[in-house]
Amino acid sequence: MKALVKTAQGPGLELTDVPEPRPGPGEVKLRVLRTGICGTDLHIESWDEWAAATITPPLVVGHEFVGEVVEVGDAVTRVKAGDLVSGEGHLVCGTCRNCKAGRRHLCINTIGLGVHTAGAFAEYAVLPEQNAWVHTHPVDLDVAAIFDPFGNAVHTALSFPVLGEDVLITGAGPIGLMAAAVAKHAGARHVAITDVSEPRLDLARKIGVDLALDVSRHRIGEVYPELDMSEGFDVGMEMSGQPSALREMIANMTHGGRIAMLGLPSNEIAVDWSRVVLKMLTIKGIYGREMFETWYAMSVLLQAGLDISPVITHRFAYTDHAAAFTTARDGMCGKVILDWTES
């Protein structure tokens, strides 16, 4: 079968033939239909410092996907051939303290599909049955392919109550955009999002944010009158990983404000912690999705009318992966999809 593989240490990915996988006793095999390109995939493709320390070639990459089940292992009891499945890309041990307590998203032994083990940028993929989210209601295949990052957005956006609150999101990448859509859907009074990319800010306006602010030209504090605010934002969602974004967010939170932090900084961030203390702020780190409460919430939100499809801006055949990765890397787009049903 064809697969997109990190064949050796160094930049680049190769579309090559690899053996078709076979499911183990507790695994399901999928015919991959669509995949989404993630920032992690860009790190692996460019072979940056993180990738060099984490990835062991050869490796089939990719962890955002949807597929049709074509075969199940002998011990599989719930998933069946023909099911449409999105995959939870975090593989947990099931035996650590948090796993046994039902907090699988906090598993200390988590490994990543397409990072530590063979991924889904391929014609076929296998994953544990417990990681298969079966779609029981109609869902667009492109949207189903990005349930992984959509889950990051939902986990972040719903970490704190947003009903009637003023929400600040720093970083209008695909996850930030989806979080903005979720916050609006969940009843936030105002949702403001910041970035320095005008195309991404335009996307934010299309999904209905109240304010999309270019922070290379304006300070966040300038928008208070426009949003009928006087004391700062109630809930913050830091999606960018940029030091200046976190500092600005802290400076513009109201007393008792709450920050969910998903953006992963590449370096240490100097923070005025006296502001955090004196404002009595709560800062919560977010990683991945709660298994599987977040997945349930995602499906329900879509059934209730949430539309995240505007976040998907580009679609490519898998054979055109080089152009797809270039598009995803330039930062002038939303989510980029690879179609594995056409070449």
Q: Which of 35, 40, 110, 294 is catalytic?
A: 40
Predicted pLDDT of residue 105: 95
Kindly state whether residues 171 and 132 are assigned to the same domain.
no
283 is known to lie in a ligand binding site? no
Token digits of residue 172: 């209008």
Mark whether 183 and 275 lie in a shared domain. Answer: yes
Take residue 26 and report the two structure tokens written for it.
């507790």
- The answer to whether residues 170 and 249 belong to one domain is yes
The answer to the question of residue 105 being in a domain is yes
What domain count does the chain have?
2
Q: Note the pTM of the prediction, 2 decimals.
A: 0.95
- Asked whether residue 250 is marked as a ligand-binding residue, the answer is no
Q: Tell me if 220 is assigned to some domain.
A: yes
Tell whether 64 is in a known binding site: yes
What is the three-class DSSP state of 46?
helix
The answer to whether 262 is a known ligand-binding residue is yes
Instruction: Establish if 300 belongs to a structural domain.
Output: no
Bridge partners, residue 283, by sequence: 259
Angle (CA) 195-201-203 rounded to 5° is 140
Quick check: is 301 in a domain? no
Give the pLDDT of residue 8. Answer: 97
* Pairwise CA distance, residues 78 & 102, whole Å: 19
| Catalytic one of 43, 116, 135, 314 | 43
Domain that holds residue 237: 153-285
Q: Are residues 171 and 219 in the same domain?
A: yes
Q: Would residue 40 show up in a list of annotated catalytic residues for this protein?
A: yes
Residues 241 and 330 in one domain: no
Q: Are residues 172 and 234 in the same domain?
A: yes
User: How would DSSP label each residue in 107-143?
Assistant: -TT-EEBTTTB--SSBSEEEEEGGGEEE--S---HHH
Q: Residue 45 annotated as binding? A: no
Q: What is the pLDDT of residue 84?
A: 98
20 is in an annotated binding site: no
Q: Is residue 298 one of the residues assigned to a domain?
A: no
Any known ligand binding at 281? no
224 is in an annotated binding site: no
Read off the CATH number of the domain in which 320 is found. 3.90.180.10
Q: Are 124 and 20 in contact (CB under 8 A)?
A: yes
- 264 and 320 in a single domain? The answer is no
| Residue 264 marked as a ligand binder | yes
Tell me whether residue 281 is in a domain. Answer: yes
Q: Do 235 and 124 share a structural domain?
A: no
Pairing of strands 312-317, 335-339: parallel
pLDDT by residue, tens only, the chain of 343 residues: 999 999 999 999 999 999 999 999 999 999 999 999 999 999 999 999 999 999 999 999 999 999 999 999 999 999 999 999 999 999 999 999 999 999 999 999 999 999 999 999 999 999 999 999 999 999 999 999 999 999 999 999 999 999 999 999 999 999 999 999 999 999 999 999 999 999 999 999 999 999 999 999 999 999 999 999 999 999 999 999 999 999 999 999 999 999 999 999 988 999 999 999 999 999 999 999 999 999 999 999 999 999 999 999 999 999 999 999 999 999 889 999 999 998 7
* 185 known ligand binder: no
Confirm whether residue 63 is marked as ligand binding: yes
Can you give the CATH number for the domain in which 185 is found?
Answer: 3.40.50.720
* Pairing label, strands 166-170, 64-72: unpaired
In a domain, 297, yes or no: no
d(CA 122, CA 1): 7
Same-domain pairing of 166 and 254: yes
On whether 263 is known to bind a ligand per the annotation, the reply is: yes
- H/E/C letters for each residue in 167-233? EEEECCCHHHHHHHHHHHHCCCCEEEEEECCHHHHHHHHHCCCCEEEECCCCCHHHHCHHHCCCCCE
Pair (169, 250) in one structural domain: yes
Q: Within this chain, do residues 179 and 262 fall inside the same structural domain, yes or no?
A: yes
Q: CA 280, 285, 290, 295 torsion: positive or negative?
A: positive
Residues 248 and 210 in one domain: yes
Whether 20 contacts 1, CB under 8 Å = yes
Is 317 a domain residue?
A: yes
